[in-house]
């Protein structure tokens, strides 16, 4: 009974203690959640959401659920998201106002997930807009465009109008009808004159004595007219000969035209580096920016220089006494990471560790290391080292990804020339270093089983290079692209080299050689056909003119000859002539 | 029913206005002044708060003083920072400081902060003058309000006097 009474005495106290413990635990959970949200926003620069937090005093265990860290650069995206974060906190350091997480785990990690609410908050740091990378020889990107535009201009079929043969034919085309018209006019004028003369002569011959003087004058005019007729006839007969002479001159000009056209189709060599930049620069800028952004995020989370030891709003200054050592306020010895990521349009399961995260980082003797590897068909490995031990901040990022599946890609900036890369597999290797502000490193992508299909824009449709280019690129099986990065984190500079540029340049050279031969043949035959057509037409016109004028000329000439034949010089009436005309038996003969 | 509901409020108010002799008022004001001047978020400030609510001092005046002096505290920060800096940088005391600092809960005390140490020293230095002056003021106020009570506040325990009278009468 005394035991029962004793039990009744301590049980309420025990229950009270339990309730107090649970209350403390609950309050600690709220405080921890608030602290994580505040310090997370300060660390990442974006809003941090925590679903709920649970603190176990007995186990020294903290569990956070549904943690989302907003991306400060993209407010409606999460930088990282985790389903469950568990931390085992060491008790001893807490007595010395330090938080040491001996081990922990973050499961259900996801990256770059969308979020419903904006991730900016009043406590967030303003995210610095990431400047785009600068490329070495940025202007070379324009060179292939200009080169292709030159190609369009030089392969223009209208260039045939600049052929000397065509010009001469056009001149002949203008001249011959003009000459024919002049000849026609001249013949008509001569015919009119002959007709007029004929009528005058006829009238004069009706009374020759009265028109004796006129008939005398006719005697001089008729030979001149006959000469004019002869000249006109000769000129008419000379027309075909003139055309023949022009034809010979045009044949000679045609040879010059071919030489001129071949000269026009001599192009400056297309630089492989410029072609690489033209084809790939735009496509790789965004991924390279993303990789460099990753370093910026690392620098944002672990700044190169820790801000003043006194937190904002603290009054006074904390003194470190002689004999005391500075220690990080927060130390995470090891975190096991597990989650999913999208690599090359494939969902990949990731496992990894984060070790030795400290704040301030310089107060811990080990650099922060992150290692992530994939499970499954796509081998992926990421290693990041963030070292703040020395005077200069040193960051390293290494990513290796084998068997990455690259989607169908279109290369090329303008509508002139585009290359379509069919889906292929590749190996991606990224090595980046950041010493202080100096950025260096390489990104290498090797693509295998590549299928490249060139497509030519409408402007270049007159240039027959597609088939030849297709043949040249059909032999390409693998491509290697390398981006060398230098400069600073604020102004990164990149140099792009790839097999693609030289391959396409070589293919383009061959295609262009074939296209030039084909184009020259086509243009020359086109010019020849045009010249022949015009000559045929001219000859037909000349023949028609001759057929038309020749009878007119002959008729008029006949009239003149007739005039010349009928013309009798008027004789003076003498007694002798009169007597001879008298009958023989005339008394006066 | 209503009285049951307002009982906690009444008790809080009673605890705030209780202990209203000039001595208790002065002691509460002095403690409140020191608490108000101290930076919060360390064990020293927390201990003083616990002390305040444990002692028989006027809590209402203490809280009011703490609020008022919290607002004025930053104005004396440059001075107390310099004072704390001098004291904490005293070389002969470094080992002692380090020993205390390295004890469990040592960093939670916050005494390594220049302003905390400076305010604590200033608080200790001004505590008696503040206490004495406040008590004089309180006695003067009580004399004006209730001139019949003889020698009130001489011992500074008006409540005890009344209780004594009551008990004697009983």
Tell me the C-alpha distance between A100 and A103, whole Å: 9
Q: Per the CB < 8 Å rule, is A324 touching B102? A: yes
**pLDDT computed for residue A115 by the predictor:** 87
Stretch 110-169 of chain B: residues touching chain A, C-beta under 8 Å: 112-116, 118
A587 touches chain B (CB under 8 A): no
A454-486 per-position pLDDT tens digit? 887 777 777 777 777 888 788 888 889 999 999
Taking the CA of residue A96 and the nearest CA in chain B, the distance in Å comes to: 6
Query: Residue A561: how many CA atoms within 13 Å on its side-chain side?
Result: 8
A313 touches chain B (CB under 8 A): no
Here the tokens at position A503 are: 């391959």
8 A C-beta contact, residue A288 and residue A133: yes
Average pLDDT, chain B: 83
What is the β-pairing status of strands A424-435 and A394-406? antiparallel
What distance in Å separates residue B126's CA from the closest CA in chain A?
Answer: 20
Taking contacts as CB-CB distances below 8 angstroms, the residues of chain B near A322 are: 91, 94-95, 98
Beta bridge partners of A425: A405, A448
| Range of weakest confidence among A439-448, A501-510, A576-585 | A576-585
Q: Which of A37, A24, A23, A26 is nearest to A66 (CA)?
A: A37
Q: Which of residues 102-121 of B touch A (CB under 8 A)?
A: 102, 104-108, 112-116, 118
3-state SS, residue B148 = coil
The Cα–Cα gap between A575 and A581 comes to 10
Give tens-digit pLDDT for A19-64. Answer: 998 898 899 999 999 999 988 888 888 889 999 899 988 888 999 9
Q: Given this model, what pLDDT does residue A439 score? A: 92
How far is it, in rounded angstroms, from Cα A518 to Cα A262? Answer: 11
The rounded percent of chain A whose pLDDT value lies above 70 is 90
Per-residue pLDDT of A192-214, as tens digits, reads 888 888 888 778 777 777 777 77
What does DSSP say about strands A380-387 and A346-359: parallel, antiparallel, or unpaired? unpaired
Please state, in angstroms and rounded to a whole number, the distance separating the CA atoms of residues B26 and B15. Answer: 16
Neighbours of B157 (CB within 10 A): 16
Q: What is the pLDDT of residue A568?
A: 55
Residue A320, chain B, CB below 8 Å: the answer is yes
Inter-residue contact B156 to B23 (CB < 8 Å): yes
* Cα separations in angstroms, A115 against A71, A130, A286, A477, A484: 10, 21, 22, 41, 34
Q: How does DSSP assign B9-66, residue by residue? A: HHHHHHHHH---SHHHHHHHHHHHHHHHHSPSSSHHHHHHHHHHHHSSS-HHHHHHHH
Instruction: List C-alpha distances in Å: A553 to A136, A184, A194, A240.
Output: 81, 10, 10, 17
Is residue B36 within 8 Å of residue B68, measured between CB atoms?
yes
Confidence of residue A398 (pLDDT cuts 50, 70, 90): very high
∠ CA A23-A25-A30, nearest 5°, is 95
Residue A318: CB partners within 8 Å, gap ≥ 6?
Answer: A309, A310, B112, B113, B114
Within an 8 Å CB–CB cutoff, is residue B32 touching chain A? no
Main-chain phi, psi angles of B20, to 5 degrees: -110, 30
**CB-based contact A95 B104, cutoff 8 Å:** yes
Phi, psi of A346, deg, nearest 5: -120, 140
Q: Hey, are the CB atoms on A316 and B104 less than 8 Å from each other? A: no
Prediction ipTM score = 0.76
Are A332 and A354 within 8 A, CB to CB?
yes
Q: What is the pLDDT of residue A229?
A: 82
**CA terminus-to-terminus distance, chain B:** 33
Count of residues for chain A? 589
Q: 3-class DSSP state for residue A388?
A: coil
The Cα B93–Cα A449 span in angstroms is 75
CA separation, residue A510 to residues A84, A85, A277, A471, A515 (Å) = 60, 61, 21, 10, 8
- Which chain B residue lies closest to A316 (C-alpha atoms)? B115
Dihedral, B7, B12, B14, B16 alpha carbons, nearest 10: -170
Please report the number of interchain residue pairs, chain A to chain B, with beta-carbon separation below 8 angstroms: 59
Pair type for strands A99-111 and A330-343: parallel
CB A441 within 8 A of CB A430: yes
pLDDT at A565 over 90: no
CB B95 to CB A320 under 8 A? Answer: no
Given a contact cutoff of 8 angstroms between Cβ atoms, the answer to whether A519 and A158 are in contact is: no
Q: Residue B1 — pLDDT band, cuts 50, 70, 90?
A: low
Closest to A415 measured CA to CA, from A507, A276, A278, A510: A278
CB contacts, 8 Å: B38 with chain A: none
Which H/E stretch holds residue A94? Answer: helix A91-95
As a whole-number percent, the residues of chain B with pLDDT over 90 amount to: 56
- What's the CA gap between A354 and A373, in Å, rounded? 12
Beta bridge partners of A495: A484
Most distant CA atoms of chain B, gap in Å: 65
Instruction: Give the SS3 label for residue B161.
Output: helix
Main-chain dihedrals φ then ψ at residue A537, nearest 5 degrees:
-65, -40
Q: Shortest Cα distance from B82 to chain A (angstroms)?
A: 9
Task: With beta carbons under 8 A apart, name residues in chain A contacting B118.
Answer: 316
pLDDT at res. B153: 46
CB-nearest to B113 from A95, A316, A324 is A316
The pLDDT assigned to A467 comes to: 79
Nearest partner of A138 among A287, A285, A292, judged by Cα: A285
A26-40, A289-303, A305-319, A484-498: which range is least confident on average? Answer: A305-319
Closest CA of chain B from A48, distance in Å: 24
Q: Kind of pairing, strands A492-498 and A134-135? A: parallel
**CA distances (Å), origin B29, targets A88, A230, B130:** 44, 145, 8
Put simply, whether B70 touches A (Cβ < 8 Å) is no
A-chain residues near B102 (CB < 8 A):
96, 324
Nearest CA in chain A to B113: A318
What is A398-429 written as a DSSP string? EEEEEEEEEPPEEE-SSSSEEEEEPPEEEEEE
Question: Above 60 in pLDDT, residue A4?
Answer: no
Rounded to 5°, angle at Cα A540 from A539 and A541:
90
According to DSSP, residue A7 is labeled: H
Question: What is the rounded distance in angstroms from the CA atom of residue A350 to the CA atom of residue A100?
Answer: 26
Residues A56, A61, A62, A66, CA torsion sign = negative
Cross-chain residue pair B113–A97, CB shorter than 8 Å: no
DSSP symbols for A222-233: HHHHHHHHHHHH
CB-nearest to A319 from B80, B88, B91 is B88
Rounded CA separation A580/A589 (Å): 7
Q: Does pLDDT of A369 surpass 90?
A: yes
What integer best gives the mean pLDDT of chain A?
A: 83
Of A125-129, A545-549, B82-86, give the range with the top mean pLDDT.
Answer: B82-86
- How far does Cα B19 stand from its chain's mean position? 13
Using DSSP, state whether B105 is helix, strand or coil. Answer: coil
Amino acid B140: pLDDT: 86
Is the pLDDT reported for residue A567 higher than 70? no
Question: Cβ of B85 under 8 Å from any chain A Cβ?
Answer: yes
Nearest by CB to A97, which of B89, B107, B115? B107
Q: pLDDT tens, B63-120? A: 999 999 999 998 999 999 999 999 999 999 999 999 999 999 999 999 999 999 999 9
CA of B34 vs chain A CAs: smallest distance (Å):
16
DSSP 8-state assignment for residue A393: -
pLDDT at B157: 46
Does B162 score more than 50 pLDDT?
no
């Amino acid at each position: 009974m005394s035991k029962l009474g004793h039990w009744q005495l301590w049980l309420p106290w025990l229950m009270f203690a339990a309730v107090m413990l649970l209350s403390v635990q609950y309050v600690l959970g709220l405080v921890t959640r608030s602290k994580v949200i505040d310090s997370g926003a300060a660390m990442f620069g974006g809003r941090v959401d925590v679903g709920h937090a649970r603190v176990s005093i007995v186990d020294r265990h903290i569990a956070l659920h549904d943690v989302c860290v907003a991306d400060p650069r993209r407010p409606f995206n999460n930088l990282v998201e985790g389903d469950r974060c568990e931390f085992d906190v060491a008790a001893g350091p807490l007595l010395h106002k330090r938080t040491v997480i001996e081990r922990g785990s973050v499961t259900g990690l996801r990256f770059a997930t969308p979020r419903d609410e904006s991730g900016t908050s009043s406590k967030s740091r303003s995210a610095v807009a990431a400047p785009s990378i600068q490329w070495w020889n940025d202007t070379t990107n324009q060179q292939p465009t200009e080169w292709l535009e030159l190609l369009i201009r030089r392969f223009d079929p209208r260039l045939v109008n600049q052929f000397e043969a065509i010009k001469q034919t056009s001149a002949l085309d203008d001249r011959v009808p003009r000459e024919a018209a002049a000849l026609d006019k001249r013949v008509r004028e001569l015919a009119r004159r002959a007709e007029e003369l004929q009528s005058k002569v006829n009238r004069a011959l009706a009374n020759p004595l009265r028109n004796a003087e006129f008939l005398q004058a006719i005697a001089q005019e008729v030979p001149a007219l006959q000469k004019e007729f002869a000249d006109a006839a000769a000129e008419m007969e000379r027309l075909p000969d003139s055309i023949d002479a022009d034809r010979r001159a045009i044949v000679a000009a045609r040879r010059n035209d071919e030489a001129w056209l071949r000269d026009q189709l001599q192009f400056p060599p297309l630089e492989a580096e410029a072609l690489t930049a033209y084809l790939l620069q735009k496509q790789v800028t965004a991924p390279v920016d993303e990789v460099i952004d990753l370093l910026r995020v690392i620098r944002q989370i672990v700044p190169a220089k820790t801000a003043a030891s006194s937190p904002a709003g603290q009054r006074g200054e904390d003194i470190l006494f002689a004999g005391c050592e500075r220690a990080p306020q927060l130390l995470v010895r090891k975190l096991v990471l597990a989650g999913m990521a999208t690599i090359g349009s494939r969902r990949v399961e990731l496992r990894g560790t984060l070790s030795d995260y400290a704040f301030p980082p310089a107060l811990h003797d080990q650099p922060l290391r992150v290692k992530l590897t994939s499970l499954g068909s796509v081998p992926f490995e990421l290693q990041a080292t963030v070292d703040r031990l020395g005077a200069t901040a040193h960051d390293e990022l290494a990513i290796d990804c084998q068997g990455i599946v690259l989607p169908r890609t279109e290369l090329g900036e303008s509508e002139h020339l585009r290359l379509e890369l069919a889906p292929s597999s590749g190996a991606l290797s990224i090595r980046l270093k950041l010493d202080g502000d100096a950025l260096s490193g390489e990104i290498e992508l090797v693509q295998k089983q590549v299928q490249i299909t060139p497509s030519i824009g409408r402007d270049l449709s007159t240039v027959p290079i597609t088939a030849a280019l297709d043949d040249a690129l059909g032999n390409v099986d693998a491509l290697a692209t390398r981006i060398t990065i230098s400069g600073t984190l604020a102004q990164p500079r990149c140099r792009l080299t790839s097999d693609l540029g030289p391959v396409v340049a070589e293919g383009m050279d061959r295609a262009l050689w074939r296209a030039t031969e084909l184009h020259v043949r086509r243009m020359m035959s086109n010019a020849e056909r045009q010249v022949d057509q015009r000559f045929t037409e001219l000859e037909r016109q000349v023949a028609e003119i001759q057929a038309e004028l020749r009878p007119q000329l002959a008729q008029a000439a006949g009239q003149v000859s007739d005039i010349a034949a009928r013309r009798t010089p008027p004789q003076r009436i003498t007694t002798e002539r009169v007597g001879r005309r008298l009958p023989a038996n005339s008394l006066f003969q | 029913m209503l009285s049951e509901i307002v009982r906690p409020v009444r008790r809080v108010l009673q605890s705030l206005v209780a202990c209203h002799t000039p001595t208790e008022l002065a002691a509460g004001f002095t403690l409140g002044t020191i608490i108000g001047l101290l930076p919060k978020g360390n064990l020293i400030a927390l201990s003083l708060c616990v002390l305040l609510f444990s002692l028989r001092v006027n809590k209402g005046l203490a809280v009011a003083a703490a609020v008022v002096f919290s607002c004025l505290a930053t104005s004396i920060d440059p001075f107390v920072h310099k004072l704390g800096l001098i004291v904490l940088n005293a070389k002969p005391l470094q080992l002692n400081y380090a020993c205390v600092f390295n004890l469990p809960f040592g960093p939670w005390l916050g005494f390594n902060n220049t302003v905390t140490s400076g305010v604590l020293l200033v608080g200790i230095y001004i505590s008696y003058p503040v206490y004495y002056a406040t008590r004089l003021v309180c006695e003067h106020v009580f004399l004006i309000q209730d001139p019949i009570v003889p020698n009130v506040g001489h011992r500074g325990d008006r409540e005890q006097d009344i209780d004594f009278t009551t008990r004697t009468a009983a």
